[in-house]
Structure 1
Amino acid sequence: MILDLHTMLVAVAVATACCAIARIVLYILHPGLAGLGYWAWASVIGAASFAVAGTGAGMPEGWSLSLAHGLVVAGFCLVWDGFRRFLGRPGLTSRFYLGLGGAAVVMIVGSHLAGSLHLRATFNSALVMAISAAIARELLWRTPPHRLAMRLAGWVYFANALFFLVRGLSIGFDLEFMAGKMSYGMTVVASMWWLCVTISVTLCMVLMASERLQADLNEQASRDPLTGALNRRAFASLGEREIVRARRTASPLSLLMIDMDHFKQINDCLGHGGGDEVLVLFATLAGRILRAEDLFCRFGGEEFLALLPSSSLMEAMGVAERLRAAFSAEGAGLDSEGKLPFPMTLSVGIAALAADEDMEAAIRRADAALYRAKDLGRNRCELAGG
C-alpha cells in the first residue's frame, strides 16, 4: 500500500511529536542542565513543520511548504544553540537569528516570484547542510573519547550534512522538481531520513544528559563540599595513577603537606563560619597557584595535600613558598577587625617520592617535615629527609 503524501507527512509529524514529548520531559526533569529547553523547542518546531507540510495549514501549497522549510531551519538553529549551551559555550546571538531569518525571507519571496520550487528546495538543503555540519563540528571537536553519546550525536549530524548535500545536488536531476511539482520519491526519502535522525538525536540527547548527570555525581563524590578540593579517597586513587606515570616516565613527583597555624584559635576568635572562610580562601589561592595537572586534597580539618607531577624537591619548595606568602598576604583581609592576636600563616612539609616507597610512606615523611616546621616556629616550609 502506498500512502498519500500528505498522510505520510502527518504520520511523520506525529512520530516527531513523540520525540518532542521525550525532550520536554527531559527538560522538566533536569531544568538546570543548559541547552535542554532549546532541544525541546526545536523538536516542537520540527513536529509543527511536518504538520504544516502535511495539512497545508489552510495556505496555498507553495507557501505552506516554504513555511515548513523555514520551521525546519529554525529547529536546526535551536538545536545548534542548545548544544553550544550544553557544552558551556556562548549561545547563538540574536543578530545571527535575525540575519538568517532575513536571508530566508528574501530567498523564499524571490523563489516564489520566480516560481522556482527548485531554487527554494536547494536553498533549504544548503542551510540544513551548513547548520548540521556546524553542529557536527561542535560535538566532535575536542570531545573526550569517553563521551560516547556526544560523539555519536556528532556523527549523526555529520551524516545529515552529507545527506542534505547529496539532496541539494540531486534536485537538479529530479524532473518533477524541475517542473515545479513535489517529488513523491524524494519527499518520502527525506521524510524517513528526518524521522531516523530525530529519533537518533533524541536518544543521544537523553544519553548525553545522563552522562552529564553521572559526571556531576562523580565530581560531587570526589570533592570536599566546603572547599571543592579532592577528598582523601579521590586523591588516593588519582595519586596512585600519578605514581605509576612518574615511574614509567622516570619523572620526579613531589608532595606538599600543608597545615594552617593556630587554626583552633582562628575558630575561637572568628567563629566556625570565619574558620570556614579561611579554609575556602586557602583553597581558592591554591587553585590559582597550582597547575591544572597538580592534585589538591583536603586531607582533614585544616590539613591539605598537594601532589606535584614532574616537579623536583626544590621546585616543590618554590610552590610551597608561593602558597605560604600568598596566604599570609591575603589572610589578613579576613581579620579586618583585628580579632586575631597573630597573623594567619601556614606551615608546609615537602617530600619527593622515593623509588621504593608508596604514597602512604611519602605522606608520612612529608608529615614529619611539617611537624618539624611547627617545632621551628611555624610559618615556614621544611624538606623531608630521605
Structure 2
Amino acid sequence: MLQLDLKTTVFLASIMSALMSVVLLSAYHSFPRSIRGIGQWVAGSLVLVVAPMLFWLRDIAPAWISIVLANGLLLAAVALWTLGTQAFYGRPPARRPAAIVVVAATLAVTWFVYGRESYEARVTIVTFAMGIFFGAQALLVLRHGGRDFSARFFGFLLAVQTLVVLARGMASLFAGLGGQTLFAANDVIQTVYLGSYTLMDLGLSVAFMLVITRRLHVELDILSRTDPLTQLLNRRALYDAGQRELAHMAEHGGEMALLLIDLDHFKHINDSLGHAEGDRVLTAFSAMLKRELPAGAHPGRFGGEEFLVLLPRTTMAAALALAERLRATSSRFFGRQVADLTISIGVASVDKAEHRLDGAVRRADLALYRAKSAGRNRVEAVMEAAA
C-alpha cells in the first residue's frame, strides 16, 4: 500500500507558501489600497514558509524550535489570515482576541512540552485554536461574502478546513494517540490532517486571490461608471441606465421623466472663491441630491455644473413637483453655504416610442435654456416630444 511521506508533505507546504507569498505580494503592490487585508495575508503566508520547516526539524532541532516556536508561528499565520479576511470584508480586525488565542495556545503547548509532556494535549490545543480562526473566517464569508462563485469557494474551503482541524482535535481528545508522533505514517487521521494542511495552504491562498480579484473588477467597473468628484453616475452610465429603463418601458409600459439641473452663476464661485471651493459645492450639492431623490432615480453628473436625473415610472406632473422641491431645497441649502447660488431645472418626459434618450435630453436642455433666459432659479418644462 502506497504511503504518504509526511515529512515531504510538510516540506512541500513550505514551498507552496513561498510561491503563494510571491503571488499575494504582487497583488499587494499592484491592487488599490481600498482593497484591504492583502497585507495580512502576505504576512501570514510568509510565516507559513517558516513554520513547516520548523516542524520538519522535529527530532533534529531542540523542542523549543521544532515544537513551541513551530506551533506558535503556525497559529500566528492563521491569525494573520483571519485579520486579513476581517479587514477585506470591512469588519473591525479582532487583534486582541487573536493575540490572546495565539499566546495562550503557545504557552499551553510550552507547558505540555516542558511541564508535563503530552503530544495528545498539544495536538488538541493547536487544532482547536486553528478551528477558532478558520471557523471565524468561514462564518464571516458566509455572512458578508455574497453569492458569487469566488466567495462561495473561499467559504467552502474555510469550512472544510475548520472541520478537518476540529476532527483532528476531537480524535486526539477522545480517541487518544497512543504514543503516536507528528510524522506517524500509520495514523490515517494524521495523514489526512497534514495532507489537507498542504493542500489548503495553497487552496485558501488561491481562493483569497479570487475574491480580491473579483473585488478589483467590481471597483474598476464602479470607477468606469462613476464621476470621481461627485460619486454620481457619469454620462456614459446615465445613458446605459436610460437604455435599460427604455427597454423596461417598451416591455412593461409606464412613464419616465428626466431633469436637467444647472447651478446658476457657478463660474462666479470658481472665479471668486477658487476651484477647491467650487469642487466642495459640487460635492455637497450631489450629496443633497442623492438624499432628496426618490428610490429608483438615477442621478448623474452630465458635465461641469450640470446634472441629469432619470426618473423611471414617473409622470410629468410628479417630475415637475419634484423639480420644484429640489429648487426650493437648494435655495435654502446654498443660502447657508454660498450666497446667491441657486439652480435652474429643465424637465422633459420620455415618449414611449423613443428608443434613445437623446430626444428627451434635447427637450430638457431646451427647457433649461428657457429657465435660464427667464431669470434663473426656475423650473421649466417641454411637455410634448414633438417640441
Note closer, same or farther for the CA distance 1:7–1:163 as it changes in structure 2 (3 Å cut).
closer
Aligned to 2:334: 331
Note closer, same or farther for the CA distance 1:229–1:3 as it changes in structure 2 (3 Å cut).
closer
Aligned to 1:285: 288
Give distance in 1, aligned partners of 2:294 and 2:124. 51
Q: Which amino acid aligns with 1:150?
A: A
Q: 1:344 aligns with which of 338, 341, 344?
A: 341
Q: Deviations over 1:148-207 (max 9, x none)?
A: 3333222211221222233333335766x2335443344332222112112122223333
Give distance in 2, aligned partners of 1:293 and 1:78. 41
Q: 2:89 aligns with which of 87, 92, 96?
A: 87
Note closer, same or farther for the CA distance 1:169–1:293 as it changes in structure 2 (3 Å cut).
farther
Number of residues of Structure 1 aligned to a counterpart in Structure 2: 376
The range that moved more, 245-254 or 27-36, is 245-254
Q: Which runs of 5+ in 1 are unaligned?
A: 337-342
Alignment check: 8 A CA contact 1:259 1:303 kept: yes
Give distance in 1, aligned partners of 2:31 and 2:10. 31
Q: Deviations over 1:277-308 (max 9, x none)?
A: 43333223223333564322121232211123
Q: How does 1:35-184 map to 2 (within 5 A)?
A: 35-56=37-58, 58-60=61-63, 64-93=66-95, 95-105=96-106, 107-109=108-110, 111-112=112-113, 113-145=115-147, 147-171=148-172, 177-179=177-179, 181-182=181-182, 183-184=184-185
Aligned to 2:246: 243
Aligned to 1:261: 264
Alignment check: 8 A CA contact 1:6 1:55 kept: no
2:232 is paired with a residue whose SS is: coil
The range that moved more, 26-35 or 75-84, is 26-35
Give distance in 1, aligned partners of 2:119 and 2:250. 67
Give distance in 1, aligned partners of 2:94 and 2:251. 45
Q: Deviations over 1:235-287 (max 9, x none)?
A: 11122223334565656544221112233444444455554443333223223
Q: Which amino acid aligns with 2:364?
A: A
1:58 is paired with a residue whose SS is: coil
Aligned to 1:28: 29
Q: Which amino acid aligns with 1:197?
A: M
Q: 2:237 aligns with which of 228, 234, 237?
A: 234
Q: Deviations over 1:205-244 (max 9, x none)?
A: 3333333333333222222333332221111112222333
Aligned Cα root-mean-square deviation (Å): 3.2
Q: Which amino acid aligns with 1:212?
A: R
Alignment check: 8 A CA contact 1:38 1:79 kept: yes
Note closer, same or farther for the CA distance 1:37–1:273 as it changes in structure 2 (3 Å cut).
closer
Aligned to 2:13: 12
Note closer, same or farther for the CA distance 1:242–1:100 as it changes in structure 2 (3 Å cut).
farther
Q: Does 1:355 align with 2:352?
A: yes
Aligned to 2:297: 294
Q: Deviations over 1:2-49 (max 9, x none)?
A: 676445423432332222233223323347242111001111222222
Q: Which amino acid aligns with 2:305?
A: E
Q: Deviations over 1:326-376 (max 9, x none)?
A: 43234345547xxxxxx1100112344443334333333433433343344
Give distance in 2, aligned partners of 1:218 and 1:46. 34
Give distance in 2, aligned partners of 1:27 and 1:319. 46
Aligned to 2:214: 211
Q: Which amino acid aligns with 1:297?
A: G
How far apart are 1:50 and its partner, in Å?
Answer: 0.9
1:344 is paired with a residue whose SS is: coil
Give distance in 1, aligned partners of 2:281 and 2:5. 72
Give distance in 1, aligned partners of 2:124 and 2:284. 59
Q: 1:187 aligns with which of 185, 190, 201?
A: 190
Give distance in 2, aligned partners of 1:53 and 1:7. 11
Alignment check: 8 A CA contact 1:285 1:323 kept: no
1:141 is paired with a residue whose SS is: helix
2:57 is paired with a residue whose SS is: helix
**TM-score normalised per structure 1:** 0.83
Give distance in 2, aligned partners of 1:82 and 1:288. 34
Alignment check: 8 A CA contact 2:89 2:144 kept: no
Alignment check: 8 A CA contact 1:281 1:331 kept: no
Give distance in 2, aligned partners of 1:166 and 1:27. 34
